[in-house]
Amino acid sequence: MSDLTYNLFDRKVQPPYLAPDYKSTVLRAPTKPLVVIKQSLSELTGPVFGEMHVGPLDHDLTKNARINGEPLGERIVVHGKVMDENGRPIPHTLIELWQANSAGRYVHKVDQHDAPLDPNFLGTGRVLTDADGKYKFYTIKPGAYPWGNHYNAWRPNHIHFSLFGPNISTRLVTQMYFPGDPLLQYDPLFLAVPPKGRDLLVSQFDLSITEPSFALGYRFDFVLRGTHSTPFENR
């Protein structure tokens, strides 16, 4: 069984399917017991993600979409470790990242926020964890943005992550927030997570990984199972 299994989770940490204040869950939350579909051979054996799926600049969002200059905004380094409930590293895990730019705008046709796009910032990246389960991204700190869930609703600064095990059926999705963000106390997504799990979604400022005169550092670890598992959107 893959290390990216998530049937062992703490209900006091993981978010519910239905969170009425987060309006879209009212329409998409299941109303009947879930049906477990037996996995076929193709789901159990592939695709297998390896070094050939990661380009040399995929981990560096400050460089991987440059056209005519540097991307705008505050440069940051995000690093951490993927591990199981006992702190053992999970090596060779494919991590994907996507986010808004420094003005709070995604490079996506559905995003109609009246904020500028950055021609030198795409907002996506990926990396494989090393033999010790460690990863590192360079990126731009994302901006807050309005999202229409309720009157004067704004999403806090956040980065989306997905993690893959040995095949596509073991994908886990979550979000990382920043310490001290005043919008966290108003965000229905963040507040949908039980109080015990909220701190597990907030990164920690890390001076040790901060690069002088270049970028501030943040640490964000992923714990895949157990009572301190990272809250995931699709457990």
Residues that are catalytic: 106, 145, 155, 158, 160
Tokens coding 12:
């006091």
Taking the C-alpha atoms of residue 167 and residue 2, their distance in angstroms, rounded to an integer, is: 9
- Contacts from 35-40 at CB under 8 Å and sequence distance 24+? 39/169
CA 57 to CA 147: how far, in whole Å? 31
φ, ψ (nearest 5 deg) of residue 50: -145, -170
Six token digits for residue 184: 């966290």
DSSP 153-212: -EEPSEEEEEEE-SSGGG-EEEEEE-TT-TTGGG-HHHHHS-HHHHGGGB-EE-TTTPBT
Q: What is the identity of the amino acid at 214?
A: F
Q: Are 70 and 138 in contact (CB under 8 A)?
A: no
